[in-house]
Amino acid sequence: MGKLGISIYPERSTFEKDKAYLDLAHQYGFKRVFTSLLQITEDKDKVLAEFKQVVDYANSLEMEVMVDINPGLFDQLEISYDDLTFFHEMGAYGVRLDIGFTGQEEARMTRNPFGIKIEINMSTGTSYVDNIMSYSPNVNNLLGSHNFYPHRYSGLGFEHFVMCTEKFTKYGINTMAFVNSHEADFGPWPTQDGLCSLEDHRDLEIGTQVKHLVLMGTIDDVLVGNAYASEAELKAMSDAFFADYPSVKVDVAEDITDDEKEVLFNNLHSYRGDRSEYILRSTMTRIKYKELPFAAHNTVDMEKGDVLIDNVGYGQYKGETQIALKSMKNDGRVNVVGKISADELFLLDFLRPWSNFKLIENK
């Protein structure tokens, strides 16, 4: 089972605020903490003492702290990649390399005596991970994570994201991606338009971003990149990540009946496996509700994303639930009872035949 995580930036906040945020995230089942030590401009000992205070508190909650560093920091702190004692003493679960070495160093770092995890950048699309693998790393201590992108329109495209991720999943390496909070207002750098890995996620609700990554099935861990996400957002992430089945939001039609609401929202739907290019079929509702009338109404032509229930005119199909995958003519036998919420319409492409899913009313 993958893990959820948050990001904290001690040098841009206070210990009290970070502590409260860690408590809140822990309450919703979050296990990972990403934090950044990319540059130390103030007094080194003071910065590190404040940093360790936050790490110690996260560890007391049994959360795993990943510290993002760059090679320049090794020089500044006078530490070597082949001696990770500094990070062990700090209490870090792992070290994320903002910029990598040559491959041999990363492989050697995974064989450190402390079991510290080494997390590497997944977003470059190069043979970086293949190179590391050629030096026989301890794969149990090697993790991958996508970058986050504070600049609008600079985030990863979907096809590139998939290609990069495959380079890691083929070795069984744990994968992670960032999602974006709309309540948070800071990250490691002064300027940010949110902090997500996929550009397509930037303006979506955080629960929808998480649903997408879960449905893709190739990302193990999901972390919110900016701070501080609201309690409602943390709950939405938790609900989406730990749900037994994915859910998709529906905007209901004005004239939807109580019977139709019952069919849509009080059932676990199953995507029938002998799939059609035109409709996603959930057929069991026609059996379960065969005694209900399902009179004809709102029998307008259908567009992709329309949620449909066959009415009494369709004989034995009466009560079957469907989602339109293409535009179709309506001959009067299909009630258009709602529409997949515009921001989640793309999730239809990630539902798999024979899989189960839920529909939830978009309030």
Say what the pLDDT of residue 264 is: 98
Backbone phi and psi for residue 311, each to the nearest 5 degrees, phi listed first:
-95, -175
pLDDT confidence of residue 73: 83
Q: Residue 34 is inside which H or E element, if any?
A: strand 32-36
Give the pairing type, strands 94-97 and 64-69: parallel
Domains and CATH numbers, the chain: 4-243 (3.20.20.70), 248-361 (2.40.100.10)
How far apart are alpha carbons 212 and 332 in whole angstroms?
34
CB under 8 Å to 152, separation ≥6 — which residues?
193, 194, 202
Mean pLDDT (10-residue bins), the chain, 363 residues: 95 94 98 87 80 96 94 83 91 91 93 97 94 97 97 98 98 98 92 95 98 98 98 98 97 98 98 96 97 98 98 98 98 98 97 96 94
Q: Coil, strand or helix: which one is 78?
A: coil
Angle value at C-alpha 92, between 89 and 96, nearest 5 degrees: 130
Q: Whole-prediction pTM value? A: 0.95
Dihedrals φ, ψ of 82, to 5°?
A: -95, 10
In angstroms, rounded to a whole number, what is the distance separating the alpha carbons of residues 105 and 103?
A: 5
